[in-house]
Structure 1
Amino acid sequence: MRRTLERQIQTRVALTTAVMALLLAAMTMLVAQNLLINQLDRDIQSIPLRVQGGGPNVRNPGIPVGTILVGQSHNGTLYASLVGRGDVSEVREGVSALLELPPGEQTVHIPTLGRYRVNVEHGMGSSILVVGLPTAGIDRTMIALSISALSISVLAVLGTVLITRTLIKRATRPLDSLTHTAETVSQLRLDRGPVAVPRVGIDDLPPEHEVARVGSAFNHMLDNVEHALGAREASEQKLRRFVADASHELRNPLAAIHGYSELVEGHAEGLDENTTFALGRISAESRRMRKLVDDMMMLARLDSQQQQAPVPVDAVEVVLNAVSDARASSVDHVWRLSLPDEPVVVLAGADQLQQVMVNLLSNARNHTPPGTTVLTEVTPSGVITVTDDGPGISPDVLPRVFERFTRADDARRHSEAHSTGLGLAIVKAQVESFGGQVRVESRPGRTQFGVRLPLANLPADAQ
């Protein structure tokens, strides 16, 4: 999982602090060690003066405890002594190795005595004088300093992590608000209805703050989006009112035209053939216009959310009745059913669901040739499918088959009935008004429309 920017910054600051603390501790220890060794060298350099001033006698006053004196006189006599607490011990082991050291200060390890800092001086002839002091004090000091430096480094890293976490959280809090607002906007339904778009809170930030500038630009963008959505909604409301009003006003004239055409057709014995044909066309087109007006009024009501609340409906009964009507009205098709043994109670409207099924079955009848098998199936999960083995829907038409005034191509039209192009749009609007979903899949030899409706939460004894 990718880490957040906040965690990345915290990790990098902590690592940087740890590295810097370790480097600082190492440099401090190196400087301290050099200072202690230089001090020890100065102490060593003061000892030979005292020894030479009083002769090679380790009992002279001012010689520190633990001092080692190893020498060789000009006549070849060797001597080695160690100054103890109130006494002087002779040292024999490792003396020859000390006498072979080059002149100057250096750190050596003496068997049974440990680490020593020694100064080797070569005198006249073959005389050699080696004076040394133990480094045990320096070693203890460096151990204590190492522990202290490590502890301080750990505390510095922990303190930096805690402080940067607080500062980063405070600095990124406006970004979290912006992210939350963006996620909220992304989940809003922007395709229809009035939309209230939230804003990012940046009032507590100075205008020159980077996050404030981003939030201000984001809010300005949301203002434009909300204004555009409001203008779109107002335009759609006007269009819906116009369609509803126009459809309502057209019903009476169309009814009158249809009635008068039927009246004239009833007395058409004395009319010539052309007049009779024209009257028939007027009657047919008036019926088509009335259906178109009725469909437009229904879509206008659905768009304005004037649909009644869904109620429990037995989908098996509705589908059975719709297929029975289709079988009676179209004997050229093969109508098949696949129904469960138990009722499937969904949330819908009985009349509206009946119309959905009539539209789907009419679509299969009008756009498939005679002899086509149409299978209607209801599943216990509330899914209704209508499947035919016709020629299928053109790939160019399939993506917009549920759009209004979309008509099938000539290859799929196999009926003389003229489609208004609103049947499947009504199906989609009706199903979605119930909280359901509609889909379509098509290829040559198989076209399936699927409707998924929410199941009614009825008690076990009522189902």
Structure 2
Amino acid sequence: MTPLGRIRRLPLSFQARLMLTVFGFVSLIFVIVAAVTSVMLNSVLEERLSQQVRSLVTEAGPWLIGSGAEDAPRVLDGLQVPPGTVLVLETADGDRSGAFVDDHFQIETLTTSQLAGLKLDRPEGQEQVRTMTVRGLGEFRVQAGEVPGGVVVMGMSTQEVRATIGELLTTITFATAAGLAVLGLAITVVIRQGLKPLRAVAETAQRVARQPLDQGVVSIEERVPAEQADARTEIGQVGAALNTLLDHVDASLTARQRNEERMRTFVADASHELRTPLASIRGYSELSLRDPSLSETTGQSLERIQAQSVRMTGLVEDLLLLARLDEGQELVYGAVDLTRLTLEAVADQRVAGPEHVWRVEVDEAPVIVAGDTARLNQVIANLLANARTHTPAGTTVTASLALDGMGSATRAILRVHDDGPGIDPALQGELFTRFARGDRSRARSTGGTGLGLAIVKAIVDAHHGEIRVTSRPGDTTFEVALPAKPVDPA
């Protein structure tokens, strides 16, 4: 698309469109008035000039009797006509003479070339007045008449008429410009005042749109001012309707928050209460497995019970951790050396997944952040375990750590990259939700609860950090950004 095409598609505000419409119609009206006025005035002035020409011809009649072709200057001098008068005499033999009265009442004789360019028609009637152009002098309204032995053409210049029309059009132009300026100022004030409630509605909606309404305690305090929400006006009705809508949304968010808090409390309480019976089940199963008199079938059943109790215990612990993180608990802040945690986590994964290729890229200087050591260790371990369990043997997994930014804006960037099959694009937006499973996109050797990445995100969020993932076949990267503490080189 060309730049001009893009410009044409730019939307105009309602105020701009309204002002353009008003200006367009008013300008059109002024143009029509100016055109009609100029045409009518021109007609009136030309008719008046024609009458003056007829009067001149009538007055000049006695002076023209017995005049020859060379007598045009004498006739004008005797008549004492106004400036702009022209007189042309033509004999039956075709000889011509002509004279013109200039603005200083001086009589000028028309040149041979000027006379040769004139078309002197024989008069068809005493009332006929037409326009004739004289080279170098302009247009004239003239009347032809017959005199003994020839034809006389006498007229007056239309310059004054044209000047009057020009002055009128100039006056109308300046008056139109001034009127449009005043009109534009008045329209701007009126429209701005009229659209003020609508702007208040838009600003309120924009402020509400910038609020994070998807999580946490949310209360919408923004409302359209009461003076801009008068239900007696059309725009005021929009403001009142928005206020009512915001009241309903605020009530819904409050109800949602209460339900989330109840659910969070329930999950925390249930998880806490389930820990004891699960520990008992696990303990009794372990104790029972030590009995040498158990049959093979009973032993297998007890082993199955023990395995499931271990799995259930892990799920309960994860749910309890998420619930406490949601409540802002479970974190014990201190200075955490992410470099050491990364090196240790990669070393652990080398033992747990020897079929993978493990690499680590860190600087010699330690990367220090403020946070909970155990939880940040859990973040790194979960991301590495996630790469190990969701990729086939032989996949290269690289953990890298670096600093980005300067001063108080410095961030620690932790990346876990693998060259495995990648994540289905349809699932990438759901990876960090609870109980999300990526079975359809990545090969798995073991099962999971679907809470690993949800826990990672909850811990990162609690540390005021960010986590994101980019993935395509052969290139998957999880990136964690955490606020870093500057390290004194000394």
Q: The TM-score by the shorter chain falls in which range?
A: 0.7 to 0.9
Q: State the distance in 2 between where 1:92 and 1:401 align.
A: 101
What pairs up with 1:120-131 in 2 under 5 angstroms? 120-122=144-146, 128-131=151-154
Does the 8 Å CA contact 2:197/2:228 hold for their aligned counterparts? no
Does the 8 Å CA contact 1:387/1:447 hold for their aligned counterparts? yes
1:227 aligned partner: 251
1:174 aligned partner: 197
Does the 8 Å CA contact 1:174/1:202 hold for their aligned counterparts? no
Q: State the distance in 2 between where 1:300 and 1:82 align.
A: 109
Does the 8 Å CA contact 2:229/2:240 hold for their aligned counterparts? no
Q: State whether structure 2 residue 346 is matched by structure 1 residue 338.
A: no
Out of 381, 384, 402, the residue aligned to residue 414 of structure 2 is 384
Mark the CA change 1:82 to 1:348 in structure 2 (over 3 Å): closer, same or farther. Answer: same
2:482 aligned partner: 454
Displacement of 1:246? 0.8
Q: State the distance in 2 between where 1:87 and 1:394 align.
A: 100
Displacement of 1:355? 0.8
1:36 aligned partner: 45
More displaced 10-residue stretch of structure 1: 307-316 or 250-259 = 307-316
Q: State the distance in 2 between where 1:54 and 1:252 align.
A: 139
Secondary structure of 1:286's match? helix
User: Larger relative contact order (C-alpha < 8 A, sep ≥ 6)?
Assistant: 1
Mark the CA change 1:189 to 1:92 in structure 2 (over 3 Å): closer, same or farther. Answer: closer
Q: State whether structure 2 residue 273 is matched by structure 1 residue 254.
A: no
Does the 8 Å CA contact 1:394/1:409 hold for their aligned counterparts? no
| Paired letter, 1:376 | A
Q: State the distance in 2 between where 1:80 and 1:441 align.
A: 97
1:424 aligned partner: 453
Q: State whether structure 2 residue 445 is matched by structure 1 residue 414.
A: yes
Does the 8 Å CA contact 2:331/2:371 hold for their aligned counterparts? no
Secondary structure of 2:175's match? helix
TM-score (norm 2): 0.77
Displacement of 1:62? 8.9
Secondary structure of 1:413's match? coil
Displacement of 1:16? 4.3
Does the 8 Å CA contact 1:106/1:119 hold for their aligned counterparts? yes
Q: State the distance in 2 between where 1:74 and 1:359 align.
A: 122
CA RMSD, 1 decimal: 3.9
What pairs up with 1:146-157 in 2 under 5 angstroms? 146-157=169-180
2:72 aligned partner: none
Does the 8 Å CA contact 2:219/2:254 hold for their aligned counterparts? no
Q: State the distance in 2 between where 1:412 and 1:114 align.
A: 97
Mark the CA change 1:129 to 1:322 in structure 2 (over 3 Å): closer, same or farther. Answer: same
2:121 aligned partner: 100
Mark the CA change 1:443 to 1:287 in structure 2 (over 3 Å): closer, same or farther. Answer: same
Displacement of 1:366? 3.8
Displacement of 1:241? 0.9
Displacement of 1:239? 0.8
Mark the CA change 1:269 to 1:112 in structure 2 (over 3 Å): closer, same or farther. Answer: closer
Q: State the distance in 1 between where 2:378 and 2:154 align.
A: 114
Displacement of 1:116? 3.0
More displaced 10-residue stretch of structure 1: 34-43 or 55-64 = 55-64
| Paired letter, 1:420 | T
Does the 8 Å CA contact 1:76/1:126 hold for their aligned counterparts? no
Displacement of 1:202? 6.4
Mark the CA change 1:457 to 1:142 in structure 2 (over 3 Å): closer, same or farther. Answer: farther
What pairs up with 1:119-268 in 2 under 5 angstroms? 119-122=143-146, 128-197=151-220, 198-201=222-225, 203-204=227-228, 206-207=230-231, 209-266=233-290, 268=291
TM-score (norm 1): 0.81
2:464 aligned partner: 435
Does the 8 Å CA contact 1:393/1:447 hold for their aligned counterparts? no
Q: State the distance in 2 between where 1:264 and 1:377 align.
A: 46
Q: State whether structure 2 residue 12 is matched by structure 1 residue 4.
A: yes
| Paired letter, 1:204 | Q
Unaligned runs of at least 5 residues, structure 1: none
Does the 8 Å CA contact 2:76/2:107 hold for their aligned counterparts? no
Q: Deviations over 1:208-249 (max 9, x none)?
A: 544334334444443443333333222211111110111112
More displaced 10-residue stretch of structure 1: 158-167 or 312-321 = 158-167
Mark the CA change 1:271 to 1:78 in structure 2 (over 3 Å): closer, same or farther. Answer: closer
Secondary structure of 2:227's match? coil
Secondary structure of 2:298's match? helix
Q: State the distance in 2 between where 1:338 and 1:220 align.
A: 56
Mark the CA change 1:462 to 1:188 in structure 2 (over 3 Å): closer, same or farther. Answer: farther
Does the 8 Å CA contact 1:438/1:449 hold for their aligned counterparts? no
Unaligned runs of at least 5 residues, structure 2: 1-6, 66-74, 405-411
Out of 249, 269, 277, the residue aligned to residue 292 of structure 2 is 269
Q: State whether structure 2 residue 432 is matched by structure 1 residue 402.
A: yes
Q: Deviations over 1:321-374 (max 9, x none)?
A: 222233345555443322222222345422211011222233334445566543
Q: State the distance in 2 between where 1:186 and 1:76 align.
A: 93
Q: Deviations over 1:8-38 (max 9, x none)?
A: 4434544444444334323322222222222
What pairs up with 1:280-429 in 2 under 5 angstroms? 280-306=303-329, 308=331, 312-331=335-354, 333-368=356-391, 372-381=395-404, 382-389=412-419, 399-409=429-439, 412-415=443-446, 418-429=447-458
- Give the total of aligned pairs: 457
Does the 8 Å CA contact 1:385/1:448 hold for their aligned counterparts? no
| Paired letter, 1:164 | I
Q: State the distance in 2 between where 1:41 and 1:436 align.
A: 93
Q: State the distance in 2 between where 1:388 and 1:212 align.
A: 57
Q: State the distance in 1 between where 2:453 and 2:12 align.
A: 47
Secondary structure of 2:365's match? coil
Mark the CA change 1:118 to 1:329 in structure 2 (over 3 Å): closer, same or farther. Answer: closer
Q: Deviations over 1:181-211 (max 9, x none)?
A: 3333332212112323333346336535443
Does the 8 Å CA contact 1:36/1:138 hold for their aligned counterparts? yes
Displacement of 1:40? 1.8
Mark the CA change 1:312 to 1:54 in structure 2 (over 3 Å): closer, same or farther. Answer: same
Mark the CA change 1:140 to 1:231 in structure 2 (over 3 Å): closer, same or farther. Answer: same
Does the 8 Å CA contact 1:375/1:388 hold for their aligned counterparts? yes
More displaced 10-residue stretch of structure 1: 148-157 or 125-134 = 125-134
